[in-house]
Amino acid sequence: MSLQDELLEMERAFWGAGGDAEFYRANFAADGHCVFAVGILDKDATLRGIAGGLPWSDLQVSEVVATPIGDDAASIVYRGSARPQGGDERYETYVSSVYVRRDGRWQLFLHQHVPPATTDG
């Protein structure tokens, strides 16, 4: 499996695991962070934020680029589009994630969403 396929598989699993704190606990690095509009979240804050949330559905990705950073680190960037489970309105974002390989498996170390620019007019 290519690096891009491995990391995309992890990304899809995170999108689908909304509300599943155990998945995040197992696959999010202890020293990892998320960067969202609400601020910079460490692992504990991330776990609290996803608790009781819903998974995303109909994830579509494009503009995917995966890049090795070293033997045990890699990044993936892409444009993502998904709907909250049971919702109609799509969420559009650019995503960047950095993974570290620890104990022989990938763990999410840094994750950020950036909304696409909007134009008025």
What pLDDT score was predicted for residue 87? 87
What pLDDT score was predicted for residue 121? 54
pLDDT mean for each 10 residues of the chain (121 residues): 96 90 94 95 93 88 97 97 91 97 96 87 54
Instruction: Indicate yes or no: pTM above 0.95.
Output: no
What pLDDT score was predicted for residue 21? 87
What are the tokens at 16? 């689908």
What pLDDT score was predicted for residue 18? 83
- Nearest CA to 109 out of 1, 5, 7, 4 is that of 7
Highest CATH level, class, for 3-114? alpha beta
Length of the chain: 121
Q: Are 99 and 74 in contact (CB under 8 A)?
A: yes
Quote the distance between the C-alpha of residue 11 and its chain's center. Answer: 5
What are the tokens at 14? 């995170």
